[in-house]
Amino acid sequence: MAQRKPNVRVTQVSDIIELSPHLRRIVLSGDSLKGFSTGQEGAHVKVVLPSEQPSEQPSELQTTSADKSQKMRSYTIRSFKEDTLELTLDFVINRHDGPATNWAKNAKLVDKLIIAGPGPLKITDYDQTSYLLVGDITSVNAINGFVPKFNQDADIRAVISVPTRSDIITMDYDDSANTYWFVEDEMSISLEEQVLTLAKNMAKDTRVFLALEACKIRSLRPMLEEQLGFSRLDCTAVGYWKQGVDADKFSAQKKSGSN
């Protein structure tokens, strides 16, 4: 008899909220979420996309079979409510075509979605005195998850790049003092220049989290080291997506060290 993988769950869409022109919130629920870890806001789950046939809904059977043709993508936990068994994920839409964004765009109430995880939190040291977080619309929920966990006396600065002003979303923390929204279609300087300006007087041992498109990380990380004196050892840099490359190829590139 096939063994059920313990962290693979079939969930059901229970709510859909249009957060912004480029962000669609999907709430997943179901008894399968019993025992899902709490306090993992900012970590990611893998969503396993249904196969290409539009009528096909994932079944319990699919959670037990290793179907290599199914596409998996990473999505960040915005919240998990243990009492109502509701897991909230926010999907970028209207920016590109791909199995995950297309699924989210067409999702309807009671559609099923398989998830696996959660994966580990990418930052776990919460008692530092200085933090710089730089993200975009794909990693806004990672920043939202981490900031409330940090020592609140720390110098915390976040820069979040969004396509338009309407994509600025409400955070779970008071973002008025420490979060700068970089509105892509209004800015006359680059994200890199903006980050350097905002971070120029920060302590050299600032803990840095970069969660961006891969080429943005490649340009920003050396600037932070060379121009601001930050240490590579204090920096967690994660390519959340790569322009022109789908997540399967990008993941293979990361594994082979060629991204």
- Please report, as ranges, the residues that interact with ligand FAD according to CB under 6 A: 44, 73-76, 89-92, 95-96, 98-101, 138, 141, 238, 240-247
Measured from the CB atom, the residue of 64 and 253 that comes closer to ligand FAD is 253
Nearer to ligand FAD, 10 or 123 (CB): 123
By C-alpha distance, which of 77, 58, 60 is closest to 117? 77
Asked if 137 contacts 159 with a C-beta cutoff of 8 angstroms, the reply is: no
CA terminus-to-terminus distance, the chain: 40
Q: Name the residue with the smallest CB distance to ligand FAD.
A: 98
Nearest distance from C-beta of residue 65 to ligand FAD, angstroms: 21
CB of 88 to ligand FAD, least distance (A): 10
Considering the complex, what minimum distance in angstroms separates the CB of residue 219 from ligand FAD? 17
Smaller CB separation from ligand FAD, 95 or 149: 95
Nearest approach, Cβ of residue 182 and ligand FAD (Å): 15
- HEC secondary structure over the chain: CCCCCCCEEEEEEEEEEEEECCEEEEEEECHHHCCCCCCCECEEEEEECCCCCCCCCCCHHHHHCCCCCCCEEEEEEEEEECCCCEEEEEEECCCCCCHHHHHHHHCCCCCEEEEECCCCCCCCCCCCCEEEEEEECCCHHHHHHHHHHCCCCCEEEEEEEECCHHHCCCCCCCCCCCEEEEECCCCCCCHHHHHHHHHCCCCCCCEEEEEEEHHHHHHHHHHHHHHHCCCHHHEEEEEEEECCECHHHHHHHHHHCCC
CB-nearer residue toward ligand FAD: 64 or 102: 102
Q: Residue 171 or 247: which CB sits closer to ligand FAD?
A: 247
The least CB distance from residue 34 to ligand FAD, in Å, is: 23
14 versus 79: smaller Cβ distance to ligand FAD = 79
Q: Which is nearer to ligand FAD, 123 or 159 (CB)?
A: 123
CB of 163 to ligand FAD, least distance (A): 9
Q: Which is it for strands 207-213 and 130-136: parallel, antiparallel or unpaired?
A: parallel
The least distance separating ligand FAD from the CB of residue 102, rounded to whole angstroms, comes to: 7
